[in-house]
């Protein structure tokens, strides 16, 4: 899609948009006719994605208050008023015991996943509030909804879900909707690489999923686009799991696991 195809004055910003779920979301909003703006701390990858979808690219560390505020100001100046913000920037961690997880790694995850989501929301919402319109979608995780051996990532994503509800109530009277999507195990390039290296077992990842498979990034993006646009005009403060039924299926392990297909 070229920029001339975009809806006039409708700008959608995707943080962490240079790869994985963020890249899929950038493609998704562009396909809906929005002028997509890819924000990532890897400028080369951001530019490559933006060029592919006819958008713009900006480099910023979402957790750095000055960087993201400067970035928001530059986007508004260069592109126009931002109507949609998708907070997809995030990092993961290895599933180790607490004493095996360096506190520096814990700090990095919380800084990007929790603080970054909050700081980016503040930077872009300030102008949305002035205009009395806007939509923010945060990428949380099913890890924030269940106990997992991810002692930085899971609490950080739980915080994203909580802040989604808090900001929805805070900014709703100003015309701003804030929702979250909680992906399940999603076949991003990073996960595929881990599977190919033998670091993750596809069977273990899908054993408790009712649909018996991994999520595709585009399936996440379609729900994000729904929540971000007027199609979900009455929704705010919601957290929507997109997990192939993993949350529904996990407790069945107590009874021997999910049953086979009905006959």
Residue from 122, 146, 119 nearest 63 by CA = 119
* Per-residue pLDDT reduced to its tens digit, 99-115: 999 999 999 999 999 99
Give a yes or no: residue 190 inside a domain. no
Give a yes or no: residue 207 inside a domain. no
* Per-residue pLDDT reduced to its tens digit, 159-215: 999 999 999 999 999 999 999 999 999 999 888 988 998 888 999 999 999 999 999
Instruction: Give the residue, 202 or 7, on which the prediction is more confident.
Output: 202
* CATH code, 236: 3.40.50.720
Give a yes or no: residue 253 inside a domain. no
Residue from 128, 6, 92 nearest 55 by CA = 6
* Per-residue pLDDT reduced to its tens digit, 117-148: 999 999 999 999 999 999 999 999 999 999 99
- The pTM of this model reads 0.94
Q: Which domain holds residue 180?
A: 3-185+215-245
The count of domains in the chain is 1
pLDDT for 248 beyond 90: yes
Give a yes or no: residue 237 inside a domain. yes
Give a yes or no: residue 200 inside a domain. no
pLDDT for 3 beyond 50: no
Average pLDDT, the chain: 95
| Residues assigned a catalytic role | 153
The residues pairing with 58 across neighbouring beta strands, listed in sequence order, are 39
Give 9's pLDDT tier (boundaries 50, 70, 90). low
pLDDT for 83 beyond 50: yes
Give a yes or no: residue 210 inside a domain. no
Give a yes or no: residue 9 inside a domain. yes
**Measured CA distances, 202 to 58, 196, 206 (Å):** 35, 10, 6
* Per-residue pLDDT reduced to its tens digit, 65-75: 999 999 999 99
Give a yes or no: residue 258 inside a domain. no
């Amino acid at each position: 899609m070229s920029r001339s195809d975009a809806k006039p004055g409708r700008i959608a910003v995707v943080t962490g948009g240079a790869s994985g779920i963020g890249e899929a979301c950038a493609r998704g909003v562009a396909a809906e006719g929005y002028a997509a703006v890819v924000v990532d701390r890897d400028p080369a990858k951001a530019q490559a994605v933006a060029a592919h979808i006819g958008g713009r690219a900006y480099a910023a560390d979402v957790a750095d208050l000055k960087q993201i505020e400067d970035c928001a100001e530059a986007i508004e100046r260069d592109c126009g008023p931002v109507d949609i913000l998708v907070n997809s920037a995030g990092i993961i961690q290895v599933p180790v015991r607490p004493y095996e997880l360096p506190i520096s790694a814990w700090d990095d995850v919380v800084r990007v996943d929790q603080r970054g989501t909050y700081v980016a929301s503040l930077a872009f919402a300030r102008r949305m509030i002035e205009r009395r319109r806007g939509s923010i979608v945060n990428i949380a995780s099913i890890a924030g909804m269940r106990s997992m051996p991810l002692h930085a990532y899971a609490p950080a994503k739980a915080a994203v879900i909580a802040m989604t509800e808090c900001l929805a109530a805070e900014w709703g009277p100003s015309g701003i909707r804030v929702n979250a999507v909680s992906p399940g195990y999603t076949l991003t390039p990073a996960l595929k690489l881990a599977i190919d290296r033998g670091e993750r077992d596809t069977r273990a990842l899908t054993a408790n999923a009712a649909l018996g498979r991994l999520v595709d990034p585009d399936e996440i993006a379609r729900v994000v686009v729904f929540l971000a646009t007027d199609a979900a005009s009455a929704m705010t403060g919601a957290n929507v799991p997109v997990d192939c039924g993993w949350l529904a299926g996990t407790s069945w392990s107590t009874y021997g696991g999910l049953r086979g297909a009905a006959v």
